[in-house]
Structure 1
Amino acid sequence: MTKKIAVFVGSLRKESFNRKMAGALMELAPKSLTFEMIEIGQLPLYNQDYDDEGTPPAEYSEFRQSVKPFDGVLFVTPEYNRSVPAVLKNALDVGSRPFGQSVWGGKPGAVVSVSPGAIGGFGANHHLRQSLVFLDIPIMAQPEAYIGGAAQLFDGEGKIANEGTRGFLVKFMETFAAWVEKNTAKNA
């Protein structure tokens, strides 16, 4: 049975390396997974008063409803100041509230960090994993994906130009498909 995966990109730039990587990952994945990119840039900053007063912005409600039906989640993120971009952290916060109504719990996930730098967003990758563990998202531990040198990875059409990287990403997505299958079976 095909599993539906929500993809979240931590960069808002139109030509972001992370957006290109998300597209490449979706293309290289096994057919047992289908994907939808969920946009997060439109979400107002999380403010608990809205939920406490029963007046959450429409964007909060729409986002929460859009995430609920997915079987798993894939996060593709840059690193900003050794951490997760604010827009991605905000999406996690919006989806985790109101208390007891998180849309994240039990959805298997994976993290890919992408950077033009040599260490491939290592800090953001691990910072994000800490939050995801708290949100009860079973995170795939191996293989880890820190993709450095992003400026040289893509051809003119946004496809992966490096065969070694392409091979790694295919294996990553095959492992992710197995991870989703294993962890959704537990939750069934």
Structure 2
Amino acid sequence: MSVRILALVGSLRAGSHNRQLAEAAVKFAPEGASVELFEGLAEIPFYNEDIDVEGSVPAPAAKLRAAAQAADGFLLFVPEYNGTIPAVLKNAIDWLSRPYGAGAFGGKPAAVVGTAFGQFGGVWAQDETRKALGIAGAKVLEDVKLSIPGSVVRFAETHPADDTEVAEQLTEVVARLHGHAGETVAA
């Protein structure tokens, strides 16, 4: 049985350390799992019920919803912007939470990880993301966490995939999410 995990990155910057962390997750996916890095969050308009009309949902939002519907689990990579969740990631969660009662998260497992410059690695933003995911209908894995502090220094010359400690921790996160998603698929 193959398990599909959709990765959403809350930073649009080309050199984003969270994007690099997501790339590492793709690389470290266990056998029987694939981690798909969603491209296109920047093109999705801000959520607005006036444009979320069946048959005329903006194409970028429809693409996100289709990818999420096809996923068995979610892995969100969250930088911390002014102590909270980046707008692009919150917007994706808002689109995926609709239509009300039938959103794409639909009880599927979701884990939240990330790295940030600060000494706590973005835990405030990650906590806010977990809260939003839970309200949006995901089965948030509260005990599957990874917060990496000091990203600017730690990853200045090393890709997260080449940092042994990070690689081990990220591999464990993906494996645990894979296990939860596999249980959901089998049920």
Q: Greater shift after overlay, 176-185 or 105-114?
A: 176-185
Distance 2:161 2:124 in 1: 23
State the shift of 1:20 in Å.
0.2
Distance 1:184 1:135 in 2: 20
Residue 107 to residue 143, structure 1, CA distance change in 2 (3 Å): closer
Distance 1:113 1:159 in 2: 11
Residue 112 to residue 159, structure 1, CA distance change in 2 (3 Å): closer
Q: Deviations over 1:33-72 (max 9, x none)?
A: 1021112111011110123586432222222122211111
Structure 1 runs not aligned, ≥5 long: none
State the shift of 1:121 in Å.
0.2
- The residue aligned with 1:17 is 17
SS of the residue 1:168 aligns to: helix
C-alpha contact 1:154 1:160 (8 A) present in aligned 2: no
C-alpha contact 1:121 1:147 (8 A) present in aligned 2: yes
C-alpha contact 2:11 2:78 (8 A) present in aligned 1: yes
C-alpha contact 1:154 1:161 (8 A) present in aligned 2: no
Write the mapping of 1:1-188 to structure 2, written as runs, cut at 5 A. 1-39=1-39, 40-51=41-52, 55-154=56-155, 158-185=159-186, 188=187
Q: Considering only aligned residues, what root-mean-square deviation do their CA atoms show, in Å?
A: 2.0
Distance 2:132 2:182 in 1: 22
C-alpha contact 1:155 1:161 (8 A) present in aligned 2: no
Q: TM-score, normalised to structure 2's length?
A: 0.89
Identity of aligned residues (%): 34
State the shift of 1:98 in Å.
2.5
After superposing on structure 2, the runs of 4+ consecutive aligned residues of structure 1 that deviate more than 6 Å are: none
Aligned pairs, how many?
186
Q: Deviations over 1:122-170 (max 9, x none)?
A: 1001000011111221122224211112234447573434322222222
Q: TM-score, normalised to structure 1's length?
A: 0.89
Q: Greater shift after overlay, 33-42 or 155-164?
A: 155-164
Amino acid of the structure 2 residue aligned with 1:42: E
Amino acid of the structure 2 residue aligned with 1:137: A
Residue 161 to residue 127, structure 1, CA distance change in 2 (3 Å): same
Q: Greater shift after overlay, 161-170 or 12-21?
A: 161-170
Amino acid of the structure 1 residue aligned with 2:140: I
Distance 1:42 1:115 in 2: 24
Distance 1:151 1:161 in 2: 15
